[in-house]
């Protein structure tokens, strides 16, 4: 038994390390975005193209490799795509043209998406019966990575004249450093115990419910990616305070990490928490749309991160509960929905910001947030 406990701790450490590394890349990418597009000539409404390139691969590739991981072994697939992530990071670091940059972040997104999908599926398998608690806890490390990377990059650029590219070199080194922890872990599924036995488990995957969760995560990831990816643009263009952009991104992820840690410490997540967080997020996004003060905007970006904290884990856990034996397959579908949201929303919102303005763009995000909240509130009485 002590040996089993030791292995569980190692698995938890490995998953937290992988998740931290994924957050580190995303936070650095979000700060590097505006500088990269300026240097490589990706301007105007096309600023959303790199975000779309990464999120297309984040969404599509897990749909293919999520089900494969259920059969071939999740640990093996995780290791392979951690290597793909490292390769994509090196390609992005060395890219010299707009086309090369877009291709590189697509490869990077492939490694990111599959590693994310499989690590969450592993969490559900290993910690069955307590998966929502552990998914929230593990995802708090994603936020921690996303907090430190923009601050590190901003300071490297300010004090050491570093390029935005350096963050991707750090990502490659970081993911290679995490591989030994995954190799040493023994991924063994715990007994399948329903974490929240509110309803009898369905014998077949209920496709209408799954579709509803796919739409919800499509909207949520789209909103999240826009808030974080365009924070630097909001401060540079709308508020004239670009130096605050890195801190807005860091505060967004810090507050999300705090929220996920709090939810991760709860014995049971309150029913309807996901919907309530989306309603709160609606109010905060609307406030950002009309905010004209940089310090207040920083506080609002932090508040938006806290409001986001349990939305992604809540949707994921509710969807996986539909059929825990197919966790990899379901995570593939969810990553597709999230990846498409992360691709389409930045393109559309970037175009709106460029032509109409920040306020209208963020009000549109608020409208989508309340729509998703209403749907999940209705479903929370039955499955969430």
pLDDT for the residue 3: 62
Instruction: Kindly tell me if the per-residue pLDDT of 169 is higher than 50.
Output: yes
Percent of the chain scoring above 90 in pLDDT: 43
Please say if the pLDDT value at position 84 is more than 90.
yes
Could you tell me if residue 52 is inside a domain?
yes
Coil vs helix vs strand at 201: coil
Predicted local distance difference test score (pLDDT) of residue 311: 92
Q: Is residue 371 part of a domain?
A: yes
The 10s digit of each residue's pLDDT in 368-379 is 999 999 988 887
User: What pLDDT was estimated at residue 382?
Assistant: 53
For range 338-366, the mean pLDDT: 89
Is pLDDT at 303 greater than 50 in this prediction? yes
Average of per-residue pLDDT across 360-372: 95
Confidence of residue 38 (pLDDT cuts 50, 70, 90): confident
**DSSP result, 159-187:** HH---TTHHHHHHHHHHHHHHHHHHH---
Give DSSP secondary structure letters for 230-294: THHHIIIIISS-GGGHHHHHHHHHHHHHHHHHHHHHSSSPPTTHHHHHHHHHHHHHHHHHH---H
More confident site: 236 or 22: 22
CB atoms within 10 A of CB 280: 17
| Predicted local distance difference test score (pLDDT) of residue 199 | 44
Q: What is the DSSP string of 85-151?
A: HHHHHHHHHH--SHHHHHHHHHHHHHHHHHHHHHHHHHHHHHTTTSHHHHHHHHHHHHHHHHHHHHH
Lowest-confidence segment of 122-131, 184-193, 248-257, 322-331 by average pLDDT? 184-193
pLDDT (mean) for 157-162: 92
Residue 49 lies in a domain: yes
Residues of the domain holding 229: 2-189+204-380
Query: Is a pLDDT exceeding 50 seen at residue 195?
Result: no
So what's the pLDDT on residue 180? 94
pLDDT, average across residues 335-362? 87
Residue 102 has pLDDT above 90, yes or no: yes
195 domain residue, yes or no:
no
For residues 262-283, average pLDDT: 83
Structure-model confidence comparison of residues 300 and 339, the more confident one: 300
Q: Is the pLDDT of residue 264 over 80?
A: no
Of 60-74, 179-193, 257-271, give the range with the top mean pLDDT.
60-74
* Domain-embedded: residue 38: yes
pLDDT at 118 over 60: yes
Q: How far apart are CA 117 and CA 140, in angstroms?
A: 16
Residue 230 pLDDT greater than 70, yes or no: yes
What does the pLDDT read at residue 300? 96
Q: Domain count for the chain, please give it.
A: 1
**Nearest-CA neighbor of 25 among 166, 198, 138, 135?**
166
Report residue 271's pLDDT band, with 50, 70 and 90 as the boundaries.
low
Of 99, 125, 91, 108, nearest in space to 15 by CA: 125
Mean pLDDT score of the chain: 86
Per-residue model confidence as pLDDT tens digits over 138-152:
988 988 898 899 899
CATH code where residue 34 lies: 1.20.1250.20
Q: Which two tokens stand for residue 29?
A: 């990418």
Per-residue pLDDT at 347: 86
CA distance 37 to 41: 6
Domain contains 177 = yes
Higher pLDDT, 167 or 6: 167
How many Cα atoms sit within 13 Å of 339 on the Cβ side? 26
Q: For the residues 227-252, what does the mean pLDDT come to?
A: 84
The pTM assigned to this predicted structure is 0.76
**Of 342 and 278, the one with more pLDDT:** 278
């Amino acid at each position: 038994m002590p040996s089993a406990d030791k292995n569980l701790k190692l698995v938890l450490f490995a998953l937290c390390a992988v998740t931290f590394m994924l957050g580190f890349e995303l936070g650095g990418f979000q700060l590097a975005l505006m500088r990269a597009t300026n240097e490589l000539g990706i301007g105007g409404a096309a600023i959303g193209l790199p975000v779309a390139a990464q999120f297309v691969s984040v969404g599509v590739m897990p749909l293919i490799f999520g089900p494969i991981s259920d059969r071939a072994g999740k640990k093996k697939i995780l290791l392979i795509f951690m290597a793909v992530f490292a390769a994509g990071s090196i390609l992005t670091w060395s890219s010299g043209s707009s086309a090369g940059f877009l291709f590189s972040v697509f490869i990077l997104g492939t490694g990111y998406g599959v590693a994310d999908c499989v690590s969450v599926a592993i969490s559900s398998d290993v910690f069955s019966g307590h998966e929502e608690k552990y998914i929230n806890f593990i995802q708090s490390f994603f936020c921690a990575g996303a907090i430190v990377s923009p601050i590190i990059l901003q300071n490297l650029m300010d004090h050491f004249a570093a390029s935005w590219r350096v963050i991707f070199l750090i990502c490659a080194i970081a993911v290679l450093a995490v591989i030994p922890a995954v190799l040493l872990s023994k991924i063994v599924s715990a007994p399948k115990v329903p974490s929240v036995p509110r309803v009898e488990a369905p014998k077949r995957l209920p496709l209408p419910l799954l579709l509803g969760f796919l739409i919800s995560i499509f909207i949520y990831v789209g909103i999240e990616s826009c808030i974080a990816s365009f924070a630097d643009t909001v401060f540079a263009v709308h508020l004239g305070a670009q130096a605050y952009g890195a801190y807005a991104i860091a505060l967004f992820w810090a507050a999300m990490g705090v929220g996920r840690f709090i939810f991760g410490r709860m014995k049971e997540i309150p029913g309807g928490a996901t919907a309530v967080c989306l309603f709160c997020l609606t109010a905060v996004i609307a406030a950002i749309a009309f905010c004209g003060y940089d310090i207040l905007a920083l506080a609002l970006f932090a508040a938006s991160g806290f409001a986001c904290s349990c939305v992604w884990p809540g949707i994921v856990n509710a969807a996986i509960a539909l059929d825990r034996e197919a966790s990899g397959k379901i995570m593939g579908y969810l990553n597709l929905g999230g990846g498409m949201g992360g691709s389409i929303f930045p393109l559309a919102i970037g175009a709106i910001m460029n032509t109409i303005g920040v306020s209208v763009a963020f009000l549109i995000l608020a409208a989508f947030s309340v729509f998703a909240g209403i749907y999940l509130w209705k479903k929370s009485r039955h499955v969430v």
